[in-house]
Structure 1
Amino acid sequence: MKRFMNWLTNSFTPTMNKFSQKPVVAALSSSMQKIIPFILTGSCIHLYNVLRSYIPALPNFIRIINFSFGMLGLLTAFMVANQMMEKLGHTQYTINAGLTAISVFIMFIKPVLDANGMFTVEFNRFGPTGIIVGIAANIAAVEAGLAPMNIAINEAVFTAGLITMGGMGATLTLNLLMCFSKSKSLKTVGRLTILPSIFNINEPIMYSAPIVMNPLLMVPMWINSITGPLVVWFTMRSGLLNIPSKMIQVGQIPAPLSSVMITEDLRAVLVYVVLFILYLVTWYPFFKVYEKQRIAEEQNELQLDQLD
């Protein structure tokens, strides 16, 4: 482990830092950070909707999601072009580039203009798109008295909370590491984002840690995105865990409670523990190197403030 962390610190991190400083990469990273308020707003309403699912009398704030997180594609189009001009040193074109990007974005989401001049477009094209996979075959099989066979379904991938433990890339264990970090900034971010992570909403930590466009933290996220599905597929295919056979959407219910609900199998708790340890071991060395880097940055900032 020590040799691996030394390699991360002395070879991998410097190389990735040079890569992340390239204008294109820096612009993408900066863009993601600047749209965090919109992501946090949508995430808060997602948490509220968990409560509303049990108390339907509460007011419906879906419009706040629609016009914050739901407009993420449009907002990102503006910010990427805006930040690209800034990172390339063409600051006089930041606004014009952003407005041009909005026009191009709208053109490419296939709006319809009828003979009466009415302009229409599917609203969901303005936001991030998700993956919807079928579970209908499993439901039909169970109704026919057969065993479900399809594993790559929405419930197994998303709502069971095993692959998406804390959100895509299994970021819950990273969030916990941040909560106890020696870096003040990482500890603050960790504690601010832990509640959404528990409910499998990780956009706040993805863009505020940040993980997005951060090569050092994106690597373990990619690793978890491979190892987690492999473990789940193996356990379900070998009969060690039930394959979901009901259409249940409880993506914001914390695992392993959601895992048991989806699989109708108490063994899901054991699988959760195994994956939790696996994800933690994967995140740990990369996090420690990133933590060391952030601590050094904080110390430099403190010294500069003292000089001023």
Structure 2
Amino acid sequence: MKKLIDWMTNTVGSKASKMAKNPWIASVQETMVATMPVMLISSFITILSILNEYIPNFPDFSYISTFTMGLSSIMVAFMIPTFLLEKFRLPKYKRQAGFMGVALLFMMSQAGIDDAGNFAIASDRVGAGGMFVAIVAGLFVGFIMKVFSKRSLFKKDTTMPKFLVDSFDSMAPIIVIMIIAFITCHVLKLDLYNYVNIALSPLVNIAQSFGGFVLIMFLMCFFYSFGLSSWILVPVYYTVGINAIAENAKLVAAGHAAKYITTNEVFGGWIWLGGAGCTLMLCVIFAFFCKSAKLKGLGKTCLIPGIFNINEPIVFGSIVFNPLLMIPMWICGLVIPSITYLVMRLGLVTIPSDSFLLWYMPIPFQTYLTNHDFRGVILVFILLAITFLIYYPFAKAYDKQCLLEEKEEKEKEKAAEERKAKRLAK
């Protein structure tokens, strides 16, 4: 275990940190984080839509979702090249880059103007379903802009104002992007939207498989137990999840059952029980089943944040680099997603088909609002009981260790006080 910790700290940890700081990866990661508030608005609309079933003539707020999650790919295509040029400290073209990212997304999505003069584009291609294409468009635009950003049509000592120089210089990369898009999308009539999705389908298929689903969750727990934030996996699981929930919504709208399980909604409703690593029951064990003053205090302090799925205090306060608690976190990262996936694949619990990203909402409320299926609530209580059983023996062993340490500390304090009393007596 010591060798594993040293290897993770000195080798994997440093490489993972470098990877997370890579401008290309960091740009996608920050874009996903930046879109979350927009997605949360759509999640609130999902809650309001429940009232439509019980209150006659209640306003239909789904219109708002059309212009939040329904335009999410446009936001991604705009932000990725902007963030990318900022990361490379090349802000010269970042505004034009954002616009060109959107323009390229439209061209790749076969947008156009019909005979009546109306601009038309398939709505699913600018919503969550077009997320992968938007990422490709944004990265491509960012790459072209980066190549041209260090070149200028004017000499350094030119008397022209800087804003005019930058404006004229930006024309070169814009022309290159447009010519490439014109040839591929208009002249050759290639549907790049479908080609990108076909090219990325192996990644999606792996992520949607039983092994892929469990692996994503295990890696989150594994890295987290070494102090590496699970956010480093955001570009993978968040993008796959957003695309999957859009596909599930289309299937349900067509009268079919949702089939994609690897979604952010499933993670929040059944897998992150108190946060990545299922630490809610660990807080309960510390607070009510341990005798150590340290663990009881930590459990009571972390219980409320844990109910709202915020578990940094309990993870960094007790689990990180602690073999006694790292192991049960890894076990939870294997067992809980395995059970959840199999139960949903067997049709015993409804697979979510509506966007619901209010990850900080306590379970089981979040669980029910995710798929409106009481069987899902039963499942989440079963999963909580399983995490309790997994953590309990390890937590009790750690409790004994802490009690021994506290006893030794008290004996040292008592000995120090006795020595002090003898000195004063002399």
Which TM-score band (shorter chain)? 0.5 to 0.7
Shift of 1:127: 11
- The corresponding residue for 1:37 is none
Return the match for 1:299 from 407, 411, 418. 407
- The corresponding residue for 1:98 is none
Residues 166 and 201 in structure 1, CA contact (< 8 A), matched pair in contact too: yes
**Partner Cα separation in structure 2 for residue 127 and residue 276 of structure 1:** 21
- The corresponding residue for 1:179 is 287
What do you get for the CA RMSD once the two structures are aligned? 3.2
Return the match for 2:368 from 260, 276, 286. 260
Taking the TM superposition and a 5 Å limit, the aligned residue runs for 1:263-278 are 263-278=371-386
- The corresponding residue for 2:392 is 284
> One-letter code of the match for 1:136?
A
Return the match for 1:168 from 261, 264, 276. 276
Identity among equivalent pairs (%): 35
More helix by share: 2
**Partner Cα separation in structure 1 for residue 294 and residue 88 of structure 2:** 43
- The corresponding residue for 1:196 is 305
TM-score normalized by the length of structure 2: 0.44
Structure 1 residue matching 2:344: 3-state secondary structure: helix
> One-letter code of the match for 1:198?
I
Change over 3 Å in CA distance of 1:295–1:272 after alignment to 2: same
**Partner Cα separation in structure 2 for residue 300 and residue 262 of structure 1:** 49
**Partner Cα separation in structure 2 for residue 21 and residue 154 of structure 1:** 32
> One-letter code of the match for 1:274?
I
Structure 1 residue matching 2:271: 3-state secondary structure: coil
- Where structure 1 has 5 or more consecutive residues not aligned to the other structure, the ranges are 1-15, 29-48, 54-108, 117-125
- The corresponding residue for 1:138 is 248
TM-score normalized by the length of structure 1: 0.60
Return the match for 1:244 from 352, 355, 370. 352
**Partner Cα separation in structure 2 for residue 115 and residue 21 of structure 1:** 43
**Partner Cα separation in structure 1 for residue 87 and residue 310 of structure 2:** 30
Change over 3 Å in CA distance of 1:216–1:140 after alignment to 2: same
Residues 139 and 246 in structure 1, CA contact (< 8 A), matched pair in contact too: yes
Residues 20 and 214 in structure 1, CA contact (< 8 A), matched pair in contact too: no
After superposition, the C-alpha distances for 1:213-238 in whole angstroms (9 at most, x for unaligned) are 21210111111111111111111111
Change over 3 Å in CA distance of 1:226–1:304 after alignment to 2: same
**Partner Cα separation in structure 1 for residue 390 and residue 405 of structure 2:** 24
Shift of 1:276: 1.3
- Structure ID, larger Rg: 2
**Partner Cα separation in structure 2 for residue 288 and residue 144 of structure 1:** 51
Residues 166 and 197 in structure 1, CA contact (< 8 A), matched pair in contact too: yes
**Partner Cα separation in structure 2 for residue 234 and residue 127 of structure 1:** 24
> One-letter code of the match for 1:154?
N
Taking the TM superposition and a 5 Å limit, the aligned residue runs for 1:29-44 are none
Change over 3 Å in CA distance of 1:20–1:156 after alignment to 2: closer
Structure 2 residue matching 1:261: 3-state secondary structure: helix
**Partner Cα separation in structure 2 for residue 291 and residue 242 of structure 1:** 39
Structure 1 residue matching 2:319: 3-state secondary structure: coil
> One-letter code of the match for 2:312?
E
Instruction: State yes or no: 1:147 paired with 2:252.
Output: no
Taking the TM superposition and a 5 Å limit, the aligned residue runs for 1:114-133 are 114=91, 128-129=231-232, 130=234, 131-132=237-238, 133=241
Structure 2 residue matching 1:221: 3-state secondary structure: helix
- The corresponding residue for 2:322 is 214
Shift of 1:307: 1.4
Structure 1 residue matching 2:349: 3-state secondary structure: coil
Higher relative CO (Cα under 8 Å, sequence separation at least 6) belongs to 1
After superposition, the C-alpha distances for 1:244-289 in whole angstroms (9 at most, x for unaligned) are 0000122111111111110210111211121111111110111111
Change over 3 Å in CA distance of 1:23–1:248 after alignment to 2: closer
> One-letter code of the match for 1:261?
L
After superposition, the C-alpha distances for 1:49-91 in whole angstroms (9 at most, x for unaligned) are 9xxx8xxxxxxxxxxxxxxxxxxxxxxxxxxxxxxxxxxxxxx
- Where structure 2 has 5 or more consecutive residues not aligned to the other structure, the ranges are 14-39, 45-85, 94-228, 417-426
**Partner Cα separation in structure 2 for residue 143 and residue 149 of structure 1:** 13
**Partner Cα separation in structure 1 for residue 6 and residue 406 of structure 2:** 19
> One-letter code of the match for 1:139?
A
**Partner Cα separation in structure 2 for residue 154 and residue 23 of structure 1:** 27
